Amino acid sequence: MRLSNIVMAAGLVAAAIGFGSAQAADISGAGATFPYPIYAKWADTYKKETGIGLNYQSIGSGGGIKQIKAKTVTFGASDAPLKPEELEKAGLVQFPTVIGGVVPIINLPGIKPGDITLDGQTLADIFQGKITTWNDEAIKKLNPNVDLPATAIAVVHRSDGSGTSFVFTTYLSQVSKAWADGVGAASAVEWPVGLGAKGNEGVAAGVGQTKGAIGYVEYAYAAQNGMTFTNLINRDGQKVAPESANFAAAAANVDWANTPGYYVILTNEPGATSWPITAATFILVYKKPDDAAAVAEALKFFSWAYETGDQAAADLHYIPLPDNVVASIKETWAKEILGADGKPVFAGK
């Protein structure tokens, strides 16, 4: 997929698999753009196998949370997990689907993916407007063998309520006290500098069209569109690349089954190979849905994805969940998602 097509790609895939034009039996969902590539791939295959489409609006995590709370969709999707107390208050169940990585992307002529390395503090200083050119001493110190231009840095960030922004700003808050005190971590923040763009697609397009730009996207968007990403220095002081094995390393020690609401934050994890901006993405459904049949169809789709979609996820640089985590999720469905008759809405595979 070429960069010139990135903004229209979602619409083209939507038309092919029923996104945006639901049929009677289609599943409806809305939210995070982070997992859109894999949800689109899964949905395409699922529709061919079952005839059931997925009407998924890739509108950002904030929008997904709003829509599920408004009960306008069967499921919401968010990269910013809701805390257990918020889930309880809203009557929602939350579960993860895949793990991926958020990566800084840049547009510097002559610079290839991985040529430049940044650390957390330098990244935070760039997004706070404290570092304004690519040949700044802080960047030169990290990249002594790179001929860095005096090009002005153009920051591109999300303009919508975004789980990707939540993950990115959570990381910046962990590595920079100035960021934590001055900006903080949230799905939507008051960005000190830069231009806003909607969705991972919009940020990727904005960076691709602007010389000297830097932004952040889910890795699948960078990989699919041949974008120039940076390496990062992780918590253990090691230079790491955004690779599936390094996303998996960041998630290796998580005890999903014993974490209430699967509330897991994977940024700045220890480990020599851990990618420092790793994240899971989550689905939200009601414990006692008004339309139990619709939720049952949605859970059948995600069950199918867990059972048959691992290779598709890996092909798009996502990390599938371990079998024991999937088993825990299905136990959660059976225990907590109930119809009006008090019976589980999901009967099995």
**Cβ atoms within 10 Å, residue 70:** 9
Both 249 and 304 in one domain: the answer is: no
- What is the model's pLDDT at position 253? 84
* 271 domain-assigned: no
Both 79 and 134 in one domain: the answer is: no
Both 81 and 122 in one domain: the answer is: no
> What 8-state DSSP symbol labels residue 163?
H
Q: What is the CATH number of the domain that holds 30?
A: 3.40.190.10
- What is the model's pLDDT at position 17? 45
* 273 domain-assigned: no
Main-chain dihedrals φ then ψ at residue 95, nearest 5 degrees = -150, 150
At 208-252, the pLDDT tens digits run 999 999 999 999 889 888 999 999 999 999 999 999 999 999 999
Both 219 and 158 in one domain: the answer is: yes
pLDDT means per 10 residues, the chain with 349 residues, are 39 41 72 94 97 95 96 97 97 98 96 97 98 98 97 96 95 98 96 95 93 96 91 98 96 91 96 97 97 96 98 95 95 96 86
* 180 domain-assigned: yes
* Count of domains forming the chain: 2
**Residues 46, 29: Cα–Cα separation, whole Å:** 15
Measured CA angle at 256 (ends 252, 261), to 5 deg: 145
* 170 domain-assigned: yes
- In which domain, by residue range, is 225 found? 102-253
- What is the model's pLDDT at position 349? 64
Q: What is the pTM of this model?
A: 0.90
Both 122 and 246 in one domain: the answer is: yes
Measured CA angle at 96 (ends 206, 41), to 5 deg: 55
**Cβ atoms within 10 Å, residue 322:** 14
β-pair partners for 157: 196
- What is the model's pLDDT at position 75? 98
264-271's contacts with Cβ under 8 Å and 24+ in sequence apart are 264/81, 264/96, 265/81, 265/170, 266/99, 267/167, 267/170, 267/171, 267/174, 268/120, 268/171, 268/174, 268/175, 268/234, 268/235, 269/235, 270/235, 270/236, 271/234, 271/235, 271/236
DSSP 93-152: EEEEEEEEEEEEEE--TTPPTTS-EE-HHHHHHHHTTS--BTT-HHHHHH-TTS----PB
**Cβ atoms within 10 Å, residue 169:** 28
